[in-house]
Amino acid sequence: MIEGRIPGRAARRTGIALGLMLSAFAGMAQAEETFCVGMNGPLSGPSAGWALPGLTGLNLIIDQVNAAGGIEADGKTYKVELRQFDNEYTPSKALQGAKELVLQHDCKQIFGIGGTTADAQAPFLTQAKVFYSPLIVSDINPNRPYVLAGSDVNSRGEMIRPAYMRTAYPDKTRYAIIAQEDPGAYTGQAWEVGAAKAVGFEMVYDSFYSAETTDFAPVITAVLATNPDIVSLGLSWPDFIPLLMEQLYLQGFTGVVAANYIEHDPILQRVPAEWLAQVRAIDSYQLFDDPWFGVPSAQHDFFREWDARYGENGSDNLGRPMNGIDWLYAPMLEVYLKGVEKAGTLDADKVLEAIRSFDHVQTIQGPARITGEDLWGGKNMISPPVPTTAFDPECNCKRVVSVTDWDVWFELLKDEIIAEVRDRGQMWDQRQ
């Protein structure tokens, strides 16, 4: 595994790159027109935790660009505005939201979780040549040329977590994994199981529970009956994680727990911090106030801006600290805007060509490659470094324990991992 801190120099380069972009915007005339980007995701319900916080990071990037004068394209200067639609993670409402955001507001980029909601709106967005940026990266395929995804580490984080745990906990060999019945979870779990097997874990439990589950006691009882050393909650929805963790605690599990995303505050209302530290609570979403990044850094500056607006003393106080979803959609907006900047136009085909031409592109997450051919059959994946975090009782929060160059790591094991994914029918060409 290739691990290492995101160097302070690289982090500063990210900030410098953003600063240069904003400086260029500053010299433009006052924006005369606007163009829209939109959030079409669940802003309520059990999966809202993967969408609603993301509005904050999008607002920060948009405010930065607009305060500096806007963005120039097609000989005009535009300001960017953000619209939103609560699709409740329901496919029919996702299509309704896409049509509203595009036909009524002329949005050029749509954000959301993806999965079944992506399937519902993809034909319309493709025909309209509107960029779609979901968290579920497996929504990329050659038939959807305007899907731009990857700031969410799914499915790269699903591979890196077991790889990290195999190295960090060599005595832990028995691996169990669960998630709700959901197409995105099916795909993410395929990649995680493939990676877990490739790095030497014994899979002792690999299953899905109903998305309608309200009593998680029997779910965890079945898992623990297989005597696992590690329990991965995979792509379980954010509202399910505290309930699953509570049952792991109540039923006496003392091994290692991992998941795609873990928000600690609601879990700490149900379990002691000492237990959470014992099981490590490993996920793939860093906090931008993490000392790992250093000061100054682009990440710390972003956290400071977020806290000034949405924190305890901010004008839009949310009554909570910044979490790992607040920034998650922002890199996809950054890459899109840099594509517009390079192409000099809002024309979707020219923007796509510009994005695919980047060797690396600086984002708030760090330098990212534009790749994806091996996983999704198209060069539409933003691939920044993949973090691994664990619960730290000193701050009662998560802290980075490793950062991995996924592209280099994957090249070494991809044949074995892809074979598992294909055996489960989850490669992009098997899900058409």
Taking the C-alpha atoms of residue 253 and residue 229, their distance in angstroms, rounded to an integer, is 9
Whether 302 has a pLDDT exceeding 90, the answer reads yes
**Every domain range in the chain assigned CATH 3.40.50.2300:** 8-152+293-384, 156-287+388-430
pLDDT value of position 154: 85
Whether 16 has a pLDDT exceeding 50, the answer reads no
Global confidence as pTM = 0.87
Whether 19 has a pLDDT exceeding 70, the answer reads no
Mean pLDDT of 120-149: 97
Whether 167 has a pLDDT exceeding 80, the answer reads yes
pLDDT value of position 348: 99
Whether 295 has a pLDDT exceeding 50, the answer reads yes
Mean pLDDT of 301-320: 97
The CATH number for 8-152+293-384, chosen from 3.30.465.10, 3.20.20.140, 3.40.50.2300, 3.40.50.10490, is: 3.40.50.2300
Whether 402 has a pLDDT exceeding 90, the answer reads yes
Token pair, residue 382, equals 């933003």
In tens, the pLDDT along 313-365 reads: 999 999 999 999 999 999 999 999 999 999 999 999 999 999 999 989 999 99
* Closest to 356 in 3D by CA, of 372, 370, 374: 370
pLDDT value of position 1: 39
**What is the side-by-side order of every strand in the sheet holding 202-209?**
202-209, 174-180, 230-232, 256-258
The CATH number for 156-287+388-430, chosen from 3.30.360.10, 1.10.3720.10, 3.40.50.2300, 3.90.226.10, is: 3.40.50.2300
Whether 32 has a pLDDT exceeding 70, the answer reads no
In tens, the pLDDT along 196-234 reads: 999 999 999 999 999 999 999 999 999 999 999 999 999
pLDDT value of position 18: 46
